[in-house]
Structure 1
């Protein structure tokens, strides 16, 4: 488990020291690094697939006093997604996108380090620390290449996230004042036994943390940083950022899993469900309208990321294992497909004089390659059959029809938002496809068309095409493997919502319900 954290840190430090090495050498080191990270993540996924929860106490200090790293099915799933995205994005970057900044490869590895830490940490303070690592690395990646648009987007991104960092510290301080701990497993045991005054204090801290996580997840009205940052970033950075908003959702889910047990019903209900449902409908609506009004393909994909966050919240809102399982399946789908679309948008833009602006112009010379990829990505992200987006949304819509969790008068609103968003996305992407890949400007000569296009030549562009194709091809693969994947996500959801095994793993004893593997110091 520690390898998932230490490998990107070690490779990042190596690349930082070797910043003056030839770019080809940096690329080789970076690719070896992300492949090692992916291999480590797959190893952890295999170890946790049977329900084992891996724990490591840093320095041998027992929790809740020391730093503890915890990896269950959910953490392993997010680590694997990070490794897959990192590999595809860096492959694309080797096509030339990494030449704009001297420290691109080092910052890329540090971004992977921050993501791994956020998914593995077992306490709120170290979650804050890894959030700051993510903020610093992502700011550096966002500004690679310079330019007023990137500088402005980076400034907004940093300012809003620094405000979020301040609120995070305040919220954590309130929770510590009420409970005397920041360890997640310890919190799960203490939250149900607080005095009324302490409970109100902890509730205020939890509300602040929920606000911070909503900011990280780019939920309206806290989404102002996200679309400009994603649209301004280079394609490999934007692709890696596709999982950045999922960190906020992951942290939110961990916080919700700490709530006291409600018995045999949903894991959480009442005001929490209403809050999540309202946020889901609002986010889906805002993302749909933003995508339809976009004037650039990169901006449209940024809004599609926001829309997907609303769909994920809709699955989480019921507080049931079935709803969370559907959301996790959809999370894998939308993370890979939106990342692939960011990479595809870069390939299209590099072949047009008009870039990715949605205006009439000459299609890229490699339109016969790019058009099928665009069709695959558009069909998948719109949620049309027979691809994984359709199955993910269908499972979510079935899950929200739970009268014990969501009032029968409410779930039709979720249905309307999810189905309506699919129609709006289909309209927007159809328009984009016609303008970018089909319609020509007047009677442009072939010479003008060739002059305004860049062929995907072997060498520089081939790795970019491989990374893009691999991500978009994940949709039919997820559909083919739907049986075992939905079984895995259901087991993951049950383990996440029933935090007994998580608490037991950190406390160091084995419960009767399932096997829990404890590691003293994972090498």
Structure 2
């Protein structure tokens, strides 16, 4: 059994703990170097795991060598490995950007970022629902502290709402897990998929209730309508590198919807098959509508970017609502794109804010930025990518999703909603760019020069968009394989029970 599988979860935990110990604890430079080194190591491990899972099949890690469904099992299939690589790249950018001074505004920034990465990676890796809950709590605890990092009334207010809503979500999660365990006697995802087929009609009703409760929980995490109202203000209130890192948080909820409602409640579930589809279609369309209205009504660039995340959530939910292998593969490609570009825009908004004086990133007339041409170029690239215009990756992601809607009704709904939301995004981002860069007075000589670390962080994220285009063939091959594994019970269920097929775990 290879220990490589557990490293994306274990490394950031150990790294975060070591940052609390002398001689690293009292030296900020050493903390930065160690955090950057840990994130680079995570990228290497995640890339290796992605290659292994893609070429050799799903990798299992059985803690204590206890066979599922009785022990804790970590599952590294192409989807989990791909998303862990995404998390690692995002974490490196958030750490680099903060090294320019944001990590000086509060304590334990680098420790909290690494613990957040551990929780996110654990959620992608876990093969059972209880440990999914545990990893949710790890990432949420880290996010609570990161949200108030640096202090301030606005951050405290946003944090309070965020904490209360997530505590409610955690309570609903536990209730759903209790029902499922009482009915099925297991919380192992693969084992649940098998036992679901042998339930009586009365037991199926209770399991259906639990499955829909899970949809509510994952909907809260992913900020789908009507559980989206916490996201814009929370993300806009967070510091720039924290908001960039939070771009992956909604994707954990989206991932959970795909994993649970495809593997457990998929085709093989009989009467419980696709219990979420009835709800996902209207929720996806309304989330797109809410995001579009939010972008048009946004008063500053950070709030606009947060509402753009709502549009991306709605777009990904369309991929889940279509329910096909092709739509899942397209959604996974779009997920990579939107996470990276949204994070970059949060960082760009911070750099713009620091050069506009008291106007910050609000859409009002202000003094000209000292490095207007540089920031305008970065903004233009990010905006083109976000709205899905060629030649960047957003265009390919949306084109793949629209292509996946091959029937009349689904085509009408998905094409109309996605394209209209894209039009709203074009209008909002065009207005924002015009105001920020053209509606200016005299030059603001007091604006902060963009530090090299911040420029490197933004460049790292933005360069991923053209790379996703240049290497679209290999990337779509990986996302298609990830979707195929998710939709094939032989790969997503049978292969995860080594007691039946020991060779699947690499023994």
TM bucket normalised to smaller: over 0.9
Structure 2: distance between partners of 1:375 and 1:255: 38
Structure 2: distance between partners of 1:182 and 1:261: 16
Structure 1: distance between partners of 2:79 and 2:409: 32
Is the contact made by 2:116 and 2:138 (CA closer than 8 Å) also made in structure 1? Answer: yes
User: Could you tell me how far 1:500 is from its partner in structure 2?
Assistant: 1.9
The aligned counterpart of 2:471 is 481
* Residues matched between the structures, number: 499
Structure 1: distance between partners of 2:368 and 2:209: 54
Structure 2 SS opposite 1:55: strand
User: Could you tell me how far 1:51 is from its partner in structure 2?
Assistant: 5.0
Structure 1 SS opposite 2:26: coil
- For 1:276-309, what per-residue CA distance to the aligned partner results, in whole angstroms no more than 9, with x for missing partners? 1111111111001101100010011001111101
Choose which of 297, 305, 315 in structure 2 pairs with 1:311.
315
Pair 516,474 (structure 1): closer, same or farther in 2 beyond 3 Å: farther
Choose which of 162, 167, 172 in structure 1 pairs with 2:172.
167
Structure 2: distance between partners of 1:473 and 1:70: 30
Structure 1: distance between partners of 2:99 and 2:305: 22
Choose which of 108, 118, 121 in structure 2 pairs with 1:116.
121
Choose which of 499, 502, 508 in structure 1 pairs with 2:489.
499
The aligned counterpart of 1:21 is 26
The aligned counterpart of 1:465 is 455
Structure 2: distance between partners of 1:411 and 1:191: 32
Residue 505 (structure 2) pairs with residue 518 (structure 1): yes
Is the contact made by 1:192 and 1:260 (CA closer than 8 Å) also made in structure 2? Answer: no
Structure 1 SS opposite 2:150: coil
Residue 195 (structure 2) pairs with residue 190 (structure 1): yes
Is the contact made by 2:263 and 2:486 (CA closer than 8 Å) also made in structure 1? Answer: no
Structure 2 SS opposite 1:454: coil
Residue 97 (structure 2) pairs with residue 78 (structure 1): no
Residue 448 (structure 2) pairs with residue 454 (structure 1): yes
Is the contact made by 2:212 and 2:276 (CA closer than 8 Å) also made in structure 1? Answer: no
User: Could you tell me how far 1:517 is from its partner in structure 2?
Assistant: 4.0
Is the contact made by 1:325 and 1:490 (CA closer than 8 Å) also made in structure 2? Answer: yes
| Higher percent of residues as helix | 2
- For 1:125-150, what per-residue CA distance to the aligned partner results, in whole angstroms no more than 9, with x for missing partners? 11111111111000011110110000
Is the contact made by 1:321 and 1:493 (CA closer than 8 Å) also made in structure 2? Answer: yes
Structure 2: distance between partners of 1:210 and 1:98: 36
- For 1:31-84, what per-residue CA distance to the aligned partner results, in whole angstroms no more than 9, with x for missing partners? 111111111111111101125111111112211111111110110011000011
The CA RMSD over aligned residues, in Å, is: 1.8
Choose which of 268, 291, 297 in structure 2 pairs with 1:293.
297
The aligned counterpart of 1:370 is 375
The aligned counterpart of 1:413 is 413
Structure 2 SS opposite 1:466: helix
User: Could you tell me how far 1:99 is from its partner in structure 2?
Assistant: 0.8
The aligned counterpart of 2:429 is 429
Structure 1 SS opposite 2:61: strand
Structure 2: distance between partners of 1:499 and 1:235: 41
User: Could you tell me how far 1:324 is from its partner in structure 2?
Assistant: 0.6
Residue 31 (structure 2) pairs with residue 36 (structure 1): no
Structure 1 SS opposite 2:55: coil
Point out where structure 2 has 5 or more consecutive residues left out of the alignment. Answer: none
Pair 421,516 (structure 1): closer, same or farther in 2 beyond 3 Å: farther
Structure 2 SS opposite 1:95: coil
Moved more, 466-475 or 285-294: 466-475
Is the contact made by 1:175 and 1:205 (CA closer than 8 Å) also made in structure 2? Answer: yes
TM-score (norm. length: structure 1): 0.92
The aligned counterpart of 1:439 is 439
Is the contact made by 1:364 and 1:455 (CA closer than 8 Å) also made in structure 2? Answer: no
Choose which of 350, 355, 358 in structure 1 pairs with 2:354.
350
User: Could you tell me how far 1:7 is from its partner in structure 2?
Assistant: 0.5
The aligned counterpart of 1:394 is 399
Structure 2: distance between partners of 1:284 and 1:137: 29
The aligned counterpart of 2:130 is 125
Structure 1 SS opposite 2:74: strand
User: Could you tell me how far 1:274 is from its partner in structure 2?
Assistant: 3.0
Structure 2: distance between partners of 1:40 and 1:285: 39
Is the contact made by 2:356 and 2:366 (CA closer than 8 Å) also made in structure 1? Answer: yes
Choose which of 227, 232, 235 in structure 2 pairs with 1:222.
227
Is the contact made by 1:179 and 1:198 (CA closer than 8 Å) also made in structure 2? Answer: no
Structure 2: distance between partners of 1:331 and 1:148: 32
Residue 345 (structure 2) pairs with residue 329 (structure 1): no
The aligned counterpart of 1:258 is 263
